[in-house]
Amino acid sequence: MGIQGNEYSYPWLDEGEVPPLPFDRDRIHIISQGVADPVFDYDIVPLTYTDSRWMAYVVRADINDMKHVTPEPINIQDNVIEFWYVIHRNTMLGPYMEFGVTFSATVNSPDGNTYKAGYYPYMYLSNDSPIFAGKEPFGFPKKAAYIAAFEHGTNNNYFNMAMERRGYFLHTANGRYSDKPVAARPTFYGKTDWGRMNYRITTEPDVIKSIHEVTYLPSELPPGFGTGHRFQLNPASIRTATSNDIRSWYMSGTPYDYMGGQLGNVEVVGLISFTFNLIIPPAKTIWTKTITRDPDKDFGMLLYATPFKYNMRHRFLLPQYSQG
C-alpha cells in the first residue's frame, strides 16, 4: 500500500523512476519554487523529447512589424516566420502541447562572435511544468493556453489546429496535405550552424535592478551524447501543404495577448510537418545588460502608472449591489 498510517512508502523510488523528494536530498539540487513541491527539478536536464510531432506553418510578415517586437541586440534576418504547433508525446516533463513563433536572427556578442539562431518572440504551452522549465533557466517567453492540433482522415491527410487563451481564440487553421513543395522556408531550416536563442529578464525583489540576457542553445549535441545535432528529424515522416491547401486561417490579438495584432497581416506560404527527437541542454549567455531604477525618479511611473489602455494592468469590475 502507498500510505499506512503516518508512514509513507514511495515504490517509484525503489524502481528508480524518479529521484528522492526535494527535502530528502541535498538542497543544492532544488532549482525551482516551491521548495516542497517544485514544478520541475534538476533531473530533467538535459531535457529529452522522443517522437514529437511538429506542424509548422511558413508565413511572411512585414519585417518592420517583426523588428518592432524584437529587443536589442537581436537582429532580424528576413521576413519568413516559422509559426508552429507541436504534440510532445514523450518528455521528461510529461506529455504536452506547444505553440511558438520563430524568427531567423543574429546577435553580435561582446565575445566577438556572431551567433545565428531562431529567436522566439511568442510561445504558448498547455502544462505548467514545461512553462516554468523553459521560462526560468532559458528565458523562453512561455504562457499557458489551450492548444489542440490534429492530423486525421485517410492517411492522416487532413490537419487542424487551434489555440485559445483567457477566453479568446488567438489562432486557428485547417487544411489538407498535398505533399507538394512549399515555396519558402525559414533561413535556419536545415542549417547546422544555426542554434536557438531567447531573451531572459531576471528582476530583483525590490524591483530596483533587472538583468537582461540573451541565452543561446547551439545546434550540436552536448558532451556525453555523441556527435551530431540536438534536433533529429525523421525524413520519412515529412508532410507538406501549400498555401492553396490551407482552407482557413484566423489570427487575432486580444486584451491580454497581442500576437495577432503585432504580427499584422501575414501571407501564409504553406505547412511543413514532421516527427522528431530532441535534446535541450543548459544554455549559454551571449549578451547581458543591467537595468537599474531610481526609487525617486522611476518608481512613481513604474508602480503607480495609469492602467494601460488595452488592459495589461488587469482591471476588475466593482461589485454591484441591489438597492432593494
- What CATH number did the domain enclosing 158 receive? 2.40.400.10
Q: What is the reported pTM?
A: 0.87
Q: What does the pLDDT read at residue 242? A: 98
In this structure, how many other beta carbons lie within 10 angstroms of the beta carbon of residue 242? 19
Phi/psi at 42 (5° precision)? -65, -20
* Distance (Å, whole) CA 278 – CA 231: 5
Q: What does the pLDDT read at residue 70? A: 97
**Locus of grid cell 506553418:** 57
Position 32 in a domain: no
Q: For residue 30, what are the contacts with CB-CB under 8 A and spacing of at least 6? A: 22, 38, 41, 42
Position 115 in a domain: yes
Position 323 in a domain: no
Burial class of residue 146 in the structure, from the number of CB atoms within 10 Å of its CB (0-12 exposed, 13-18 middle, 19+ buried): middle
| Domain housing 264 | 46-303
The amino acid that residue 39 corresponds to is V
Position 117 in a domain: yes
Q: What digits encode the pLDDT tens for the residues 212-270?
A: 999 999 999 878 777 888 999 999 999 999 999 999 999 998 888 889 999 999 999 99
Position 88 in a domain: yes
Position 16 in a domain: no
pLDDT mean for each 10 residues of the chain (324 residues): 49 68 76 79 84 98 96 97 97 95 97 96 95 91 97 97 95 98 94 95 92 96 83 95 97 89 95 96 95 82 57 51 50
Length of the chain: 324
User: In total, how many domains does the chain have?
Assistant: 1
Q: What does the pLDDT read at residue 6? A: 43
Position 262 in a domain: yes
DSSP H helical ranges for the chain:
11-15, 63-68, 128-138, 259-263, 299-303
**Residue 166's closest CA among 312, 40, 11, 18?**
312
Position 237 in a domain: yes
